[in-house]
């Protein structure tokens, strides 16, 4: 006992508090509603996490408590009650629907229009179904191939157990817990997500898609993704899917961190189609996401997103161009219809010399929706010869929607070249008439015109994803010209 | 082919067509001439189905069907083609994709299979020669960055691809130099057959040196006030429209 120090005493007390202060049965599959340190300890214990990760969470929670929810975005919504959320529920294998007949016919129709196979539709809607042998074997051979190359692609929880050093070294280095309200919240309570590591010099030979992972464990509303491309590595990563996703969780606050080390490249593509709420604007997911990547020397990060879902979107996939000669790209299509609101854009932070960034943003507003582009281009004083090109286009489908552009430029180096172009146009009645006169139906005409307008962004998506995204755009805007 | 009887039409409450009659049979070329504001382009727009106009009286029968009851795209699929005075630009949509969509919509309407890629590309090659359209333009976005002459040639190229029964050329000669005019007219003439018909709307007799009409009509104040053989066009060229105005105003 002679060595018993104050620190150890403190630790004991802390453990005691944990032991007695928390009433929820550790065997339970669900945490009670609300958020406090005990809940966080519960989540961490449930996931059998190492001490440092618990500390990471608790620290984030303390920071979050001091923060206030941001209000600067051009969106209006009823703020969630953070004490009325269940922050942990064990991933259950229960099926959402007992049989295929129970699935909403409208949803089935949409998926059929998207060209999703029946088997895939069943899987996506969570219908109890004997698993298609095909996709199981595809997934297995896929994993074997990756393993051969030393690529790690697994759930975040698995990574914490299997690759704790990689996780600990990189997590929170791009999006620090202090970054913003939702990032702090996510850091405190995230339940799962994806982890990907590409070793030095390895070019990942296939598109890594979360499709393959989601089968295994449902990801929660506070998802965390960490993608690391080591020196000279390359990866193309696909997130989300075009099928409409309904979720009982209204609030989604994800964090995505990308790390491209020297001479590495990460291409990150998202197609997002969360339930946007009904035609009256009721329900729908709030999607408050923090996505950011950091570039080493000669490296490149490219974000491509096609966003058609969510009632409220708050999302700015960004690049920190730290290494000299690094490149950041942002290609975005954001569609809002009915009562949807989106405030989305990017931040390009130029720190290194000869850094280059490109921003192509295409907003499409229909119905009574509000669609905002918000972007920051920041050139720091050591970023000699930095270059940026931004193009922000807005397309209005009706007289009742809104399109807004908030571009911020901060330049502290006189050698920088920054270009910004912006246009706002209404979908041309003369364009539609021209198509109709050639025998093209109105629906197809709108699809042609809108896909043409988004072409520069769609071209950035991997082929199959692009085809689905095109169909998704058409469906999202069906009957929306007014 | 088409029979227009006592057609009256308004735009924003103002009467533009005031009882127009016209009949065009298969194998014929009709020219409609007239001063500015007579209603020439209005007639083209109404036949094509532009919504801005309200038909208040009269009837239009196209190949035995009540044209005015058909939707704009149905009229096109039935074989009515309008070569626009001001062809519209559609950024990001390639001419090829646009035409293939149009062609397949038409084929589907008539219960035919979609055209194969090979067959389609052969057709593009063949038809683009008709109007000496640079094959590169076929893969560019619809009319985007085209010169005035290229746009008009593209209209006739589309007409050649879609093989309509009735083509209406709305001021196709406007903005064309003499060489382009000859090329465009050559394309129209090459497409002429005993089964199709053409209505040429123009201000000037010039175009009619190249596309020789069977009949010439003078449209004035919303009505066809005079019809005659191709010589009527020459007479108009010589005397201008003042005597028409004096006679019929």
The H or E element that residue A356 is part of is strand A356-365
Identify the residue among A427, A439, A446, A458 best suited for mutation to test binding to B, counting B beta carbons within 10 A and taking the highest: A439
Closest CA to A184 of A70, A263, A85: A70
Q: Alpha-carbon distance A466 to A457, whole Å?
A: 9
Q: Compare all CA atoms of chain B with the CA of A436 and give the residue at the minimum distance.
A: B73
Tokens found for residue B127:
């038809």
How large is the average pLDDT for residues B95-103? 94
pLDDT reported for residue B52: 86
Identify the residue among B102, B112, B141, B165 best suited for mutation to test binding to A, counting A beta carbons within 10 A and taking the highest: B102
Cβ separation B72–A437 shorter than 8 A: yes
Decide if A156 contacts A190 (C-beta within 8 A). yes
The answer to whether A448 contacts chain B (CB < 8 Å) is yes
In a domain, A7, yes or no: no
pLDDT reported for residue A91: 52
Q: Compare all CA atoms of chain A with the CA of B164 and give the residue at the minimum distance.
A: A438
Handedness of CA A400, A365, A434, B67 (dihedral sign): negative
Tokens found for residue A55:
């500390």
Tokens found for residue B241:
């429209």
Q: Does residue B29 surpass a pLDDT of 90?
A: yes
Q: Compare all CA atoms of chain A with the CA of B50 and give the residue at the minimum distance.
A: A433
- By CB atoms closer than 10 A (0-12, 13-18, 19+), residue B149 is middle
The answer to whether A162 contacts chain B (CB < 8 Å) is no
Q: Say which range, A257-261, A290-294, A366-370, A372-376, has the weakest mean pLDDT.
A: A366-370
pLDDT greater at residue A319 or residue A11:
A319
The residues that bridge with A111 in the sheet, in sequence order, are none
The answer to whether A444 contacts chain B (CB < 8 Å) is yes
Give this prediction's pTM. Answer: 0.80
pLDDT tier at A122 (50, 70, 90 boundaries)? low
Tell me the CA end-to-end span of chain B in Å, nearest whole number. 31
Decide if A284 contacts A312 (C-beta within 8 A). yes
**Helix and strand tally (H, E) in chain A?**
14, 19
The residues that bridge with A224 in the sheet, in sequence order, are A193, A255
Nearest CB to A455; choose among B73, B92, B102: B92
Q: Alpha-carbon distance B220 to B16, whole Å?
A: 10
pLDDT reported for residue A321: 97
Q: Compare all CA atoms of chain A with the CA of B82 and give the residue at the minimum distance.
A: A437
Q: Say which range, A78-92, A309-323, A458-472, B104-118, has the weakest mean pLDDT.
A: A78-92
Most confident of A261-270, A281-290, B174-183: A261-270
Q: Does residue A178 surpass a pLDDT of 80?
A: yes
pLDDT reported for residue A387: 97
To the nearest 10 degrees (0 to 180), the angle between helices B148-162 and B117-130 is 130
The answer to whether A433 contacts chain B (CB < 8 Å) is yes
Decide if B72 contacts B49 (C-beta within 8 A). yes
How large is the average pLDDT for residues B54-75? 95
Contacts of B179 (CB under 8 A, 6+ apart): none
Cβ separation A438–B72 shorter than 8 A: no
Distance from CA of B239 to the nearest CA of A (A): 36
In a domain, A139, yes or no: yes
pLDDT reported for residue A118: 66
How large is the average pLDDT for residues B81-88? 95
How large is the average pLDDT for residues A452-457? 91
Q: Does residue B16 surpass a pLDDT of 70?
A: yes
- Residue B19: what are its φ and ψ, rounded to 5°? 95, 60
Q: Does residue A2 surpass a pLDDT of 70?
A: no
Exposure class string for B85-114: b at 16+ Cβ within 10 A, else e: bebbbbbbbbbebbbbbbbbbbeeeeeeee
Q: Compare all CA atoms of chain B with the CA of A459 and give the residue at the minimum distance.
A: B92
Cβ separation A436–B82 shorter than 8 A: no
Decide if A330 contacts A300 (C-beta within 8 A). no
pLDDT tier at A125 (50, 70, 90 boundaries)? low
pLDDT tier at B46 (50, 70, 90 boundaries)? very high
pLDDT reported for residue A128: 39
- Residue A210: what are its φ and ψ, rounded to 5°? -65, -20
Distance from CA of A456 to the nearest CA of B (A): 8
Q: Say which range, A133-137, A234-238, A278-282, A464-468, has the weakest mean pLDDT.
A: A133-137
Q: Does residue B249 surpass a pLDDT of 90?
A: no
pLDDT reported for residue A232: 97
Q: Alpha-carbon distance A342 to A345, whole Å?
A: 10
DSSP string, B54-75: EEEEEEEEETTEEGGGS-HHHH
Q: Alpha-carbon distance A336 to A334, whole Å?
A: 7
> What is the strand order of the sheet B2-11 is part of?
B14-24, B2-11, B54-62, B65-66
The answer to whether A430 contacts chain B (CB < 8 Å) is yes
pLDDT reported for residue B238: 87
Distance from CA of B228 to the nearest CA of A (A): 30
Q: Does residue A183 surpass a pLDDT of 90?
A: yes
Tokens found for residue A14:
């802390």
Which residues of B fall below an 8 Å CB-CB distance to A?
A: 48-51, 71-73, 75-77, 81-82, 84, 87-93, 97-99, 101-102, 105-106, 109, 141, 158, 162
Q: Compare all CA atoms of chain B with the CA of A431 and give the residue at the minimum distance.
A: B88
Cβ separation B87–A434 shorter than 8 A: yes
Cβ separation A451–B88 shorter than 8 A: no
pLDDT reported for residue A242: 60
Distance from CA of A336 to the nearest CA of B (A): 21
Decide if A458 contacts A466 (C-beta within 8 A). yes
Distance from CA of B226 to the nearest CA of A (A): 29
pLDDT in tens, A8-32: 544 444 443 323 323 333 345 677 8
How far are the Cα atoms of A144, A157, A241, A400, B195 from residue A195, in angstroms, in the given order? 17, 9, 18, 42, 67
Q: Show the domain range for A327.
A: 100-476
Residue A436: list chain B partners with CB under 8 A.
49, 71-73, 76
Decide if A326 contacts A352 (C-beta within 8 A). yes
Percent with pLDDT over 70 in chain A? 78
DSSP 3-state percent helix, strand, coil across chain A (nearest 5)? 30, 30, 40
pLDDT tier at A399 (50, 70, 90 boundaries)? confident
Residue B88: list chain A partners with CB under 8 A.
428, 430-431, 433-434
pLDDT reported for residue B49: 94
Percent with pLDDT over 90 in chain B? 72
Residue B49: list chain A partners with CB under 8 A.
436-437
Nearest CB to A444; choose among B48, B72, B105: B105
pLDDT reported for residue A33: 82
How far are the Cα atoms of A182, A223, A253, B77 from residue A291, in angstroms, in the given order? 11, 11, 10, 48
Closest CA to A57 of A191, A219, A241, A173: A191
Percent with pLDDT over 70 in chain B? 100
Residue where the block lists tokens 């075009």: A242
How large is the average pLDDT for residues A190-199? 91
Cβ separation A428–B49 shorter than 8 A: no
Residue A434: list chain B partners with CB under 8 A.
84, 87-88, 90
Cβ separation B93–A434 shorter than 8 A: no
Residue A439: list chain B partners with CB under 8 A.
73, 76-77, 102, 105-106, 109, 162
The residues that bridge with A274 in the sheet, in sequence order, are A245
Helix (H, G, I), strand (E, B) or coil at A272: strand
Decide if A438 contacts B98 (C-beta within 8 A). yes
Distance from CA of B168 to the nearest CA of A (A): 12
Nearest CB to B73; choose among A436, A448, A453: A436
How large is the average pLDDT for residues A69-96? 75
Residue A448: list chain B partners with CB under 8 A.
90, 93, 97-98, 101
pLDDT reported for residue A115: 61
Give the CATH superfamily of B2-248: P-loop containing nucleotide triphosphate hydrolases (3.40.50.300)
How large is the average pLDDT for residues A229-236? 97
Cβ separation B88–A428 shorter than 8 A: yes
Cβ separation B76–A439 shorter than 8 A: yes
pLDDT reported for residue B160: 94
Helix (H, G, I), strand (E, B) or coil at A276: coil
Structural domains of chain A, count:
1
Instruction: Reduce the secondary structure of A370-419 to three states and give it as a string.
Output: EEEEEEEEEECCCCCCCEEEEEEEEEECCCCCEEEEEEEEEECCCCCEEE
pLDDT tier at A244 (50, 70, 90 boundaries)? low
pLDDT reported for residue A189: 92
Q: Does residue A131 surpass a pLDDT of 70?
A: no
pLDDT tier at A241 (50, 70, 90 boundaries)? low
The answer to whether A27 contacts chain B (CB < 8 Å) is no
Q: Does residue A226 surpass a pLDDT of 50?
A: yes
In a domain, A87, yes or no: no
pLDDT reported for residue A245: 59
Mean pLDDT of chain A: 82
Domain-by-domain residue ranges, chain B? Answer: 2-248
Cβ separation A439–B77 shorter than 8 A: yes
Residue B87: list chain A partners with CB under 8 A.
434
How large is the average pLDDT for residues B44-71? 94
pLDDT reported for residue A9: 44
Handedness of CA B163, B169, B172, B178 (dihedral sign): positive
Q: Does residue A111 surpass a pLDDT of 80?
A: no
Cβ separation A444–B101 shorter than 8 A: yes
pLDDT reported for residue A137: 46
Strand A300-307 versus strand A327-336 pairing type: parallel
Q: Alpha-carbon distance A401 to A74, whole Å?
A: 13
């Amino acid at each position: 006992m002679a060595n018993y120090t104050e620190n150890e005493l403190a630790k004991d007390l802390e453990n005691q508090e944990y032991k007695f202060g928390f009433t929820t049965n550790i065997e339970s599959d669900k945490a009670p509603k609300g958020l406090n340190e005990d809940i966080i300890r519960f989540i961490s214990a449930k996931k059998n996490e190492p001490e440092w990760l618990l500390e990471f969470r608790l620290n984030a929670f303390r920071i979050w408590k001091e923060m206030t929810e941001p209000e600067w975005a051009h969106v209006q919504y009823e703020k969630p009650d953070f004490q009325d959320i269940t922050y942990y529920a064990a991933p259950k294998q229960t099926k959402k629907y007992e049989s295929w007949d129970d699935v909403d016919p409208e949803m089935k129709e949409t998926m059929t229009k998207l060209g999703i196979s029946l088997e895939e539709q069943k899987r996506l809607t969570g219908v109890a179904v004997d698993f298609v042998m095909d996709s199981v074997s595809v997934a297995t051979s896929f994993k074997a191939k990756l393993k051969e190359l030393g690529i790690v692609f697994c759930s975040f929880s698995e990574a914490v157990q299997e690759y704790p050093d990689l996780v600990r070294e990189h997590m929170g280095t791009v999006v620090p817990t202090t970054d913003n309200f939702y990032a702090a919240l996510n850091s405190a309570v995230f339940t799962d997500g994806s982890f990907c590591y590409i070793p030095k010099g390895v070019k990942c030979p296939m598109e890594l898609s979360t499709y393959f992972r989601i089968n295994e464990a449902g990801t929660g509303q506070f998802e965390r993704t960490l993608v690391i491309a080591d020196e000279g590595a390359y990866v193309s990563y696909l997130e989300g899917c075009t099928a409409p996703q309904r979720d009982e969780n209204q609030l989604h606050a994800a964090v995505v961190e990308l790390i491209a080390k020297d001479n590495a490249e990460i291409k990150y593509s998202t197609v997002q189609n969360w339930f946007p709420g009904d035609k009256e604007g009721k329900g729908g997911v709030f999607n408050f996401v923090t996505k950011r990547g950091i570039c080493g020397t000669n490296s490149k990060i490219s974000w491509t997103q096609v966003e058609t879902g969510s009632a409220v979107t708050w999302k700015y996939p960004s690049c920190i161009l730290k290494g000299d000669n690094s490149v950041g790209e942002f290609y975005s299509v954001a569609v809002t219809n009915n009562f949807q609101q989106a405030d989305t854009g990017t931040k390009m932070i130029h720190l290194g010399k000869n850094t280059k960034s490109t921003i192509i943003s295409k907003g499409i507003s229909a119905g009574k929706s509000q669609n905002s582009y918000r972007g920051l281009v920041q050139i720091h004083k050591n970023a000699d010869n930095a270059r940026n090109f931004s193009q922000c286009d807005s397309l209005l489908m009706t007289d009742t929607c809104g399109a807004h552009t908030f571009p911020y430029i901060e330049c502290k180096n006189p050698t920088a070249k920054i270009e910004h172009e912006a246009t706002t146009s209404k979908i041309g009645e003369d364009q539609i008439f021209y198509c109709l006169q050639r025998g093209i139906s109105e629906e197809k005409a709108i699809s042609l015109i809108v896909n043409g307008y988004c072409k520069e962004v769609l071209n950035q998506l991997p082929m199959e994803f692009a085809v689905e995204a095109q169909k998704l755009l058409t469906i999202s805007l069906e009957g929306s010209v007014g | 082919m088409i029979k227009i009887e006592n057609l009256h039409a308004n735009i924003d409450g103002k009467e533009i067509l005031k009882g127009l009659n016209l009949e065009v049979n298969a194998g014929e070329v009709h020219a409609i001439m007239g001063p500015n504001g007579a209603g020439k382009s209005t007639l083209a727009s109404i036949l094509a189905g532009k919504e801005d106009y309200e038909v208040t009286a009269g009837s239009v029968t196209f190949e035995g069907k009540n044209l005015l009851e058909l939707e704009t795209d149905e009229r096109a699929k039935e074989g009515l083609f309008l070569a626009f005075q001001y062809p519209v630009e559609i950024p990001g949509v390639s001419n090829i994709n646009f035409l293939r969509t149009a062609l397949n919509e038409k084929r589907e309407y008539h219960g035919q299979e979609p055209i194969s890629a090979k067959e389609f590309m052969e057709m593009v090659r063949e038809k683009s020669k008709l109007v000496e359209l640079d094959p590169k333009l076929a893969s560019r976005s619809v009319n985007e960055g085209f010169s005035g002459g290229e746009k008009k040639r593209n209209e006739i190229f589309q007409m050649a691809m879609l093989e309509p029964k009735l083509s209406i050329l709305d001021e196709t000669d406007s903005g064309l130099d003499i060489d382009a005019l000859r090329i465009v007219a050559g394309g129209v003439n090459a497409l002429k057959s005993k089964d199709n018909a053409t209505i040429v709307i123009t201000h000037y007799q010039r175009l009619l040196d190249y596309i020789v009409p069977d009949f010439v009509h003078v449209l004035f104040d919303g009505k066809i006030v005079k019809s005659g053989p191709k010589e009527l066009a020459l007479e108009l060229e010589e005397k201008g429209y003042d005597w028409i105005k004096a006679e019929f105003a």
